[in-house]
Structure 1
Amino acid sequence: MNRKSFDLRATPLERMRAIGARMTERSKPPTTVQISDVSCAFDNREIRGEWLQAGADKGVTILYVHSGGFCLEYGAPHRGLAARLAVGVGARTFALRYRLAPEHPYPAGIDDCVAAYEWLLRETPPERLIVGGDSAGATLCLESLIRLRGRGKPMPAAAFLLCPMGLDLEFSADSYKEVASKDRMNSVESMRPYAALYGRRTGSEVLNEDLSGLPPTFIQGGGDEVLRGDWERLERRLTEAGGEARLSIWPGMWHTFQCFAPWVPEAQQGIDEVVAFIKAHVRANH
């Protein structure tokens, strides 16, 4: 990527949607997995997404929630990440296509994630179920787990949050200033419009919620991200609430760098780290 000539922070929503659509149209599906579309009704909601199956079914299911600032569609980079997770774990991954803002603002995305999790629970015991996502999708996962816990639903074996974005919609961490010169994908100025389109009022962010009773959580992100102060706070809050949390920062990496496998070696290495965490917790619960 030529970081001087292409700055994602200056790219408006409609152009980003068009770029994503073109990338997906021109891409070839991963050959390492079998892919099948899903569209079905469940609990008066529509479940949309796709299954990515890697080899023999070992009984492990991953619910993957994609990135996109709460506003951008599931596309080729997300499919590649979901496929690599399925292959690494030896699992089947359900990649959810949740409703997007601004057409469907907060809490529509969370509603869809909760419905998808409950739908998966029909056939997968919670100790064989993993929940995770990247960027805005990671935050949707966390918010969904909080709601599910409040309903008394069983928690999954573990959760993974890759470069979570939207944890603090007031952008108050010191890292928003300290890392600003390094981060070529996100800034307060670029994220604020997405936060406004999402529609969750400031002061009600997930970091202010009760984080007790959540599953073991792995947080991973790039060292060149303004968001990393939020991740540090999240790890601390989860631990203080009595949970298991681990934060892994990859020096020199950018937002959702995991989607850049196989072109960037660190991307696959980061995915391998996530896979190891998942396998350890599925094995511990089996």
Structure 2
Amino acid sequence: MITSSRLRLAVLAAGLCLPATAFSLEASLREVPAKEIPVPTAGVSPQEQAVIGAALPPYWNDHPKDAAAWKALINLRADVINKTLPGLREKFGVKSEQVTIAGVNCYILTPDNIPEPNRNRLLVHVHGGGYVFAPGEAATREAILMAGIGKFKVISIDYRMPPDFPYPAAMDDAMAVWKEAVKTNDPKKMAIFGTSTGGGMTLAMVLRARTEGLPLPAATAPGTPWSDMTKTGDTFFTNEKVDNILVSNDGWLGEAARLYANGHDLKDPQLSPIYGDLTGFPPTILTSGTRDLFLSNTVRVHRKLRQAGVAADLHVFEGQSHAQYAGDPDAPETREHFGELTAFFDRYLAK
């Protein structure tokens, strides 16, 4: 039997050529030539172009060897974020209050002015960071932007994380806060949102709330969700090293997945909610970018929600890598993103 590869060699040796379809029957991998990808400019602000064109983060391929190494990297990144938060809160007119809810450390972000329709509405935020990054106040950056731009009161959950607290600690904390919050707030006036890990947790929280017979939120906004912790989905490959935030599943990201899962099956819907039953989910808005490693994660969730009859919006930004819709607080794309979330919540949350 002559394989397609041998046939190709024979054809080339004879100086002949055949149409590409002649070799398609056994094709499974596509070879892509090395190329340079310019920063997009059409419809992309100068601020966002700078974010898109930034170099790969130096730690993307770190493989921390033990808990001490993980904590050093975690603290390094948290320190960078924490330095920006006082100025960010001042810029967007947001007050932060540290509280304990159901035994879990949380932060309440309150804008200076809350419009009348939002007075009795409440958003619950689960932060991103691969289940390892952004402990403590560092978890609140996205919540500050949502509170300041959307003019909602937000609870940001500082859930426990590895290396000290692997799965299911993060989900246990998030659900404890949700269970407590719905005792004193109308779930029809509540939404859950978060980016990346927070997006995956948003979806997993709905699955678990349904299983436990708890009220569901009126809407959710899982931004570029880590909905599949396995290396599954086209853009894990097509956007590898094009995404200048996550870069590759083969760097710290894959290590973080295994660290958090702690031996559990990565396809468990509480770890990878794309494998859960999404029937009956609340209206959902999803966001990603064309260079996002998790674009396929986002698209797959959107399609599965639509197939389940759920109202679901999908927004994809030109040129953006992972979660760059919130990368620069001064970029118009950032206000556009949180404006879309605000309009979506206003549509589906009771007043």
Say yes or no: TM over 0.5: yes
Partners of 2:138 and 2:332 in 1: how far apart? 15
Alpha-carbon distance, 1:133 to partner: 0.6
Is the CA contact 2:150–2:339 (under 8 Å) kept in the aligned structure 1? no
In structure 2, stretches of 5+ residues that fail to align are 1-50, 65-69
Q: Which amino acid aligns with 1:237?
A: K
**Equivalent-residue separation in structure 2 for 1:174 and 1:24 (angstroms):** 31
Aligned counterpart in structure 1 of residue 76 of structure 2, from 7, 19, 27 = 19
The amino acid that maps onto 1:9 is W
Matching residue's letter, 1:6: P
Q: Which moved more, 1:123-132 or 1:80-89?
A: 80-89
> 1:269 aligns to what?
336
Report how far residue 114 of structure 1 moved: 0.9
Between stretches 147-156 and 22-31, larger displacement belongs to 22-31
Partner of 2:132: 71
Asked if 1 retains the 8 angstrom alpha-carbon contact of 2:78 and 2:133, the reply is: no
The alignment covers a number of residue pairs equal to: 279
1:113-155 CA deviation, whole Å, 9 max, x = no partner? Answer: 1111111112210111110111111111211110101122221
- Please name the residue that 1:146 is paired with: 207
What one-letter code is carried by the residue in structure 1 that aligns with 2:313?
Answer: R
CA distance in 2, matches of 1:206, 1:161: 11
1:173 alignment partner in structure 2: 233
Matched, 1:257 2:318: no
SS in 2 for 1:9: coil
Q: What are the Cα deviations for residues 71-129 of structure 1, in whole angstroms up to 9, with x where unaligned? A: 11346665332122123332210011001023111111111111111111122101111
The alignment partner of 1:17 has SS state of helix
Instruction: Give the whole-Å Cα distance in 2 for the aligned partners of 1:161 and 1:144.
Output: 11
- 2:254 maps to 1:215: no
- Matched with 2:27 is none
Aligned pair 1:248/2:279, yes or no?
Answer: no
Partner of 2:55: 4
1:195 aligned residue? 257
Unaligned runs of 5+ in 1: none
TM-score, length basis structure 2: 0.74
Per the TM alignment, residue 260 of structure 1 is displaced from its structure 2 partner at its CA by 2.1
- Secondary structure of the 1:268 match is helix
| Secondary structure of residue in 1 paired with 2:345 | helix
Is the CA contact 2:56–2:245 (under 8 Å) kept in the aligned structure 1?
Answer: no
| Contact 1:158/1:278 (8 A) holds in 2 | yes
SS in structure 2 of the partner of residue 72 of structure 1: coil
2:220 corresponding residue in structure 1: 159
Q: In terms of Rg, which structure is larger?
A: 2
- Aligned to 1:47, which of 95, 104, 124? 104
Paired AA for residue 266 in structure 2: T
Between 182-191 and 24-33, the greater mean CA deviation after superposition: 24-33
The counterpart of 2:242, out of the listed 172, 182, 190, is 182
Q: Distance in 2 between matches of 1:38 and 1:152?
A: 26
Q: Aligned pair 1:58/2:119, yes or no?
A: yes
CA RMSD of aligned residues (A): 2.0
3-state DSSP of counterpart to 1:122: helix
CA 28–225 in structure 1, closer or farther in 2 if over 3 Å, else same: closer
Distance 1:5 1:64 in 2: 27
Query: 55-64 vs 17-26, which deviates more?
Result: 17-26
* Per-residue deviation, 1:267: 2.1
- Change in Cα spacing, 1:37 to 1:76, as seen in structure 2 (3 Å) is closer
Q: What are the equivalent positions in structure 2 for 1:91-110 lying under 5 Å apart?
A: 91-110=152-171
Q: Distance in 2 between matches of 1:79 and 1:176?
A: 27
Code of the residue aligned with 2:164 in structure 1: it is: E
